[in-house]
Amino acid sequence: MQPSLEKLRKFFRLEHSNRYADKAVIGGLANILNFWEGEARQDGLPEEIIQDVAQTLKDYASQTPETRAEALKALWKRIQQAVPEAVAETAKKTRPSKALVETTVAPVSPSEESGDETAVKPSAPAVSSPAFSKGKDSVTKRPIALNASLTVLSGVGPKNAAMLARLGLRTLGDMLYHFPRRYEDYTTLKPIRELRFGEQVTVIGTVSFTEARKTRDGKTHIFEVVIQDGTGGLRLTFFNQPWLINRIKSGDAIAVSGKIEQYLGRLVMNSPEWEPIEMENLVTNRIVPVYPLTQNVTQKWMRRLMHQVVTYWAPKLTDHLPEEIRQAAGVVDLGTALLQIHWPETQEQIRQARQRLAFDEIFLLQVGVLRQRRQWQDAPGRVFEAEPSWLAARLEALPFALTGAQQRALDAILQDLRSGKPMNRLLQGDVGSGKTIVAALVAALVAHHGAQSAVMAPTSILAEQHYRTFLNLLTGERGPLLPEQVRLLVGDTPEQEKEEIRAGLESGDIKIVLGTHALLEEPVVFADLQFIVVDEQHRFGVEQRAALRAKGAHPHCLVMTATPIPRSLALTLYGDLDLTILDELPPGRQPIPTYLLRPQERERAYSLIRSQVRAGHQAYIVYPLIEESEHSDLLAATQEHERLQQEVFPDLRIGLLHGRMRPADKEEVMRAFRDREFDILVSTTVVEVGVDVPNATVMLIEGANRFGLAQLHQLRGRVGRGAAQSFCLLIPEREDVTENERLQAMVETNDGFVLAERDLQQRGPGEFLGIRQAGFVSSLKMASLSDTALIETARRQAITLFERDPELQAPENRLLAEALARFWRGGRGDIS
């Protein structure tokens, strides 16, 4: 097709995607006539067509969107009739077997350097513009068509399809959801003369000068470019990118984005992002999407492909969100959102589009979670009543009074236990808030009614710790149970004893079993399991929780975590669980003063440790890595252990614990530390979870800048568990990182929730939650889990929807049900 016609078609499409608002061109479509008429004559278009186009476009602005649509369609038809070679080419290129030919993409090779899709000619075929295709629309209204493979697009054969697959793009639907990673905003372009020092801008200009050289020491390659835009010149400097010599040449028009800096009194840009510009961007003066790319795919090709797909398909989508919900949530419809996310006209449109797409993600997530919760609640749950006298006796026997928060948590749980539905509750409480006691009281109630409980912890040292707590609280002079009714089952339990425990569980003689995943692995059968507790739930997968649950008939389930998840996040990720937060520490707990020391002040830390040990206490020293690697100057636990023992504390007993030790050896070291066989425990982060050694009063964290806030807080929670004053010392790797925000936050507060909120803001939820949930979180493309307002809106809407139509059976919710199935199929179900 003639370039002038090609251009015309592009503008028409843009108009179509803008719903004929006459916004494709600044100042109105008629403005293109300034250059178009000349080009059309050069292309040899018939004069009557040129006049026809001119007349139609001049009238365009004064019409309504409907009549504009008609006018452009009719005009395009006349053009096709008058310029037969365009039509002929269309016929040749059309692949009748493919349903979506009208979405054909002008086939530029994806990598313009290596045209590898041999079937594709370099010149664009004259396909009928998608904007004007007819007839197919009614049958393609269903999202089903979005499953079509990308090879239905012309210009995309098996080879290009394979390249796109590297970006995770396999279907048209994938394309619609392949969002720009950023935008170039040509609507706010600045003339070079008006640039100011310190601004972040995009500038367009023509290259007037280039020079490649090396710095004097010969180590750095410097490529200097000057661009001019008629108002002035701007100097760009690129470091160590010698290949640019062949990419940026005098006379090229390029767009550069970056920060304006100053060098010898002149404004310059250092290593800006740059792109060759396409004239169409300039003429239309738009915001242009910049897509994530892969090898051999150029921005230009990608953009064209995306433009074709999006402008054709987005307006045809039927929104899966029912109108009512959309209204209530105040979000735009799906077609608009997809159009605007790819081809926004204003920054505000980008914001609106993001808002809608993020809402979708959170909403679908919430609906799925609510559905899961409903499935659980459909089953009956055994009723356990706590008689007041029994309960009073239990509380009376405790060595301390419950905190208000513990009392509230217990009340909520007792309420669940008499509801007739299986409990499914998350008990979240900062380290040391006293979750174990709550679980123990509930287990006692269940035993009182003759049924069984199982408590699962991630490590045997923790399981053993719980076992002691339970024995202490529930048996002997305090408790109603006999020691043989409470048992510990871990991997290392001798086979004979395991045998005995299995028999006791099967007969029902054992009422409470505490253990590790050994509870799942062993062929353990319960007579009547009614209550399960999963401690430090983030260390377990959903499957493991489900497996434990399956050992009973709809048992009540209590999940405990010390990871201080902000409420909004907990509601999103664990919306299937009821949430109780222990927001109060037992009385007498002193805050742990936290000091940030410079590396050269390390001796101060050592002398504190020495004096604490002399007073009969113990200390932890934690390091971020196990072994020193060539590339890192980090202190390594193993090497430091040796150094500390030989040079610093030759008179003290120092234990070593790290992740590469065999589990049994780790347990042994922990046990020895607990039993005071060591004064100091040198460790990697393996001490992070749950271990309770109240006699330890110093936590020294080396390389502290390497850790996340949540992790630092967990580590700090290892001390301050007894009556004695405890201390936390943080030493970063280098002096200049003592300004580190995270470390300052640790010094400022002991409140896990405050720290969690900060961590979430600073590092994002993936990092914050750790590996298990990261996969899920990263599949949220638009939603930010720190956007509380959005999360709450989505949750409210999900609940309302659920009250009305829990099975999503109403006709207006059918598409929503499909979207939900799609969303949860992508492995996003494994969240809680």
Footprint of Mg ion on this chain (CB under 5 A)? 690
In the bound complex, what is the minimum distance in angstroms from residue 188's beta carbon to ligand ADP?
52
Neighbours of 151 (CB within 10 A): 16
If the CB atoms of residues 452 and 563 are measured against ligand ADP, the closer one turns out to be: 563
- Residues 783 to 802: which contact ligand ADP by CB under 6 A? none
If the CB atoms of residues 422 and 690 are measured against Mg ion, the closer one turns out to be: 690
If the CB atoms of residues 2 and 436 are measured against ligand ADP, the closer one turns out to be: 436
| 3-state DSSP assignment of residue 226 | strand
If the CB atoms of residues 201 and 562 are measured against ligand ADP, the closer one turns out to be: 562
- Residues 427 to 466: which contact ligand ADP by CB under 6 A? 429, 431-437
Neighbours of 537 (CB within 10 A): 26
In the bound complex, what is the minimum distance in angstroms from residue 779's beta carbon to ligand ADP?
31
- Residues 165 to 224: which contact ligand ADP by CB under 6 A? none
Nearest CA to 569 among 792, 387, 402? 792
448's contact among Mg ion, ligand ADP, none, with CB below 5 to 8 A by partner kind, is none
- Part of the chain binding ligand ADP (CB under 6 A), chosen from 260-268, 332-340, 397-405, 510-518: 397-405
- Residues 701 to 730: which contact ligand ADP by CB under 6 A? 721
708's contact among Mg ion, ligand ADP, none, with CB below 5 to 8 A by partner kind, is none
In the bound complex, what is the minimum distance in angstroms from residue 427's beta carbon to ligand ADP?
9
In the bound complex, what is the minimum distance in angstroms from residue 726's beta carbon to ligand ADP?
13
In the bound complex, what is the minimum distance in angstroms from residue 724's beta carbon to ligand ADP?
13
DSSP 729-764: EEE-SSGGGGG-HHHHHHHH---HHHHHHHHHHHHH
In the bound complex, what is the minimum distance in angstroms from residue 436's beta carbon to Mg ion?
5
If the CB atoms of residues 175 and 533 are measured against ligand ADP, the closer one turns out to be: 533
In the bound complex, what is the minimum distance in angstroms from residue 587's beta carbon to ligand ADP?
6
398 conformational bin, left if phi > 0, alpha if psi -120 to 50, beta if neither: beta
- The answer to whether residues 465 and 491 touch, using CB atoms and an 8 Å cutoff, is no
In the bound complex, what is the minimum distance in angstroms from residue 615's beta carbon to Mg ion?
26
If the CB atoms of residues 13 and 589 are measured against ligand ADP, the closer one turns out to be: 589
- Part of the chain binding ligand ADP (CB under 6 A), chosen from 176-184, 240-248, 401-409, 810-818: 401-409
Angle between the N-to-C axes of helices 741-748 and 709-716, in degrees from 0 to 180, rounded to the nearest 10: 40
Nearest CA to 719 among 591, 602, 817? 591
Which segments of 407-472 are extended strands (E)? Answer: 424-429, 452-456
Please report, for the chain, how many H helices and E strands are present, in that order: 29, 21
In the bound complex, what is the minimum distance in angstroms from residue 339's beta carbon to ligand ADP?
50
Which segments of 273-406 are extended strands (E)? Answer: 273-276, 287-290
If the CB atoms of residues 552 and 690 are measured against Mg ion, the closer one turns out to be: 690
Neighbours of 275 (CB within 10 A): 18
In the bound complex, what is the minimum distance in angstroms from residue 401's beta carbon to ligand ADP?
6
If the CB atoms of residues 37 and 578 are measured against ligand ADP, the closer one turns out to be: 578
If the CB atoms of residues 599 and 694 are measured against ligand ADP, the closer one turns out to be: 694
Q: CA Rg, the chain, in Å?
A: 34
Structure tokens that stand for 823 in this block: 């969303």
3-state secondary structure 139-186: HHHCHHHHHCEHHHCCCCCHHHHHHHHCCCCCEHHHHHCCCCCEEEEH
- Residues 414 to 433: which contact ligand ADP by CB under 6 A? 429, 431-433
DSSP 101-154: GGG------SSTTS---TT--SSPP-PPPGGG--SGGGGGGSGGGGG-BGGGST
Cα dihedral: 149, 155, 159, 160 (round 10): -80
Q: Does 368 bind ligand ADP (CB under 6 A)?
A: no
Q: Does 402 bind ligand ADP (CB under 6 A)?
A: yes
If the CB atoms of residues 302 and 437 are measured against ligand ADP, the closer one turns out to be: 437
Give 440's contacts (C-beta < 8 A, 6+ positions apart): 469, 470, 473, 474
Neighbours of 506 (CB within 10 A): 14
**Which residues lie across from 288 on neighbouring strands?**
184
- Part of the chain binding ligand ADP (CB under 6 A), chosen from 402-410, 521-529, 612-620, 810-818: 402-410
Q: How many whole angstroms separate alpha carbon 420 and alpha carbon 415?
A: 10
Q: Does 562 bind ligand ADP (CB under 6 A)?
A: yes
**What is the pattern of x (binds ligand ADP, CB under 6 A) and - over residues 563-602?**
-----------------------x----------------
Q: How many whole angstroms separate alpha carbon 338 and alpha carbon 409?
A: 45
Which residue of this chain has its Cβ atom nearest to ligand ADP in the complex? 434
If the CB atoms of residues 277 and 457 are measured against Mg ion, the closer one turns out to be: 457
Structure tokens that stand for 28 in this block: 């109105």
Exactly one of 361, 464, 692, 759 binds ligand ADP (CB under 6 A); that residue is 692
402's contact among Mg ion, ligand ADP, none, with CB below 5 to 8 A by partner kind, is ligand ADP
If the CB atoms of residues 122 and 399 are measured against ligand ADP, the closer one turns out to be: 399
If the CB atoms of residues 429 and 552 are measured against ligand ADP, the closer one turns out to be: 429
> Given the structure tokens 């029994």, which residue do they identify?
390
In the bound complex, what is the minimum distance in angstroms from residue 721's beta carbon to Mg ion?
10
683's contact among ligand ADP, Mg ion, none, with CB below 5 to 8 A by partner kind, is none
Binding site for ligand ADP (CB under 6 A): 400, 402-403, 406, 429, 431-437, 562, 586, 692, 721
